[in-house]
């Protein structure tokens, strides 16, 4: 390999490492957005559930368990968002001054510098890949929970509706 080939290879691995760091940051930002949504809707659902247990409003009677379950479900979804945003050992691109001080030593050969740089970068990228996979999994769980929320809301609502309908229907006999 020629010296310019080494520069191309190093630029390529640095760009890949930076893309992986950006992917982790994107997951973190998306988890924060989903977290804000879940907390906002969850607080509203929890407040409606609390109010419904102390009032005999016709609509609130049907929605009380749905709202309570939705608030709990979204709190759990927010927990997974929080896990997706949790602090991890992210490795940023570039090397510290100690590496470059060693690399500038005239006794150190260019090939040794490149080998050390690539070995350290491979280790750092492996750590970032594991972090990215973990945070992406938690975000995926949180988003899936959000998608399932309407179904989760509908089940107790329909049960309450059917239960009250049959109570009224059979109480007329």
Q: Average pLDDT of 104-131?
A: 90
pLDDT of residue 155: 84
Measured at the CA of 67, the angle between CA 63 and CA 70, to 5 degrees, comes to 140
Question: 173 falls in which pLDDT band (50, 70, 90)?
Answer: low
Query: Could you tell me the residue ranges of all domains in the chain?
Result: 3-171
Q: For residues 167 and 31, which has the higher predicted lDDT (pLDDT)? A: 31
Q: Residue 52, class by beta-carbon neighbours within 10 Å (0-12 exposed, 13-18 middle, 19+ buried)?
A: buried
What does the pLDDT look like over 4-55, one tens digit per residue?
Answer: 777 787 888 888 889 999 999 999 999 999 999 999 999 999 998 898 888 7
CA distance 141 to 6: 41
pLDDT (tens digit per residue) in 47-60 = 988 988 887 776 77
- Looking at the predicted structure, is the pLDDT value of residue 2 above 70? no
Whether 151 shows a pLDDT value over 70: the answer reads yes
**Is the per-residue pLDDT at 172 higher than 70?**
no
Instruction: State yes or no: pLDDT of 1 exceeds 60.
Output: no
Written as six digits, the tokens of 36 are 């804000």
């Amino acid at each position: 390999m020629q010296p310019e080939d080494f520069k191309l290879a190093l630029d390529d691995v640095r760009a890949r490492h930076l893309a992986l760091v950006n992917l982790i940051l994107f997951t973190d930002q998306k988890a924060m957005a989903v977290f804000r949504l879940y907390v906002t809707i969850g607080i509203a659902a929890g407040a409606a559930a609390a109010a419904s247990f102390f009032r005999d409003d016709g609509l609130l009677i049907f929605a009380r368990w749905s709202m309570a379950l939705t608030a709990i479900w979204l709190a759990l979804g927010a927990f997974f968002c929080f896990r997706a945003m949790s602090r991890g050992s992210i490795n940023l691109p570039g090397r510290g001054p100690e590496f470059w001080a060693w690399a500038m030593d005239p006794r150190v050969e260019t090939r040794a510098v490149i080998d050390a740089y690539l070995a350290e970068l491979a280790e750092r990228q492996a750590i970032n890949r594991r972090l990215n996979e973990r945070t992406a999994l938690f975000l995926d769980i949180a988003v899936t929970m959000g998608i399932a929320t309407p179904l989760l809301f509908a089940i107790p609502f329909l049960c309450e509706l059917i239960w009250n309908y049959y109570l009224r229907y059979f109480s007329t006999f």
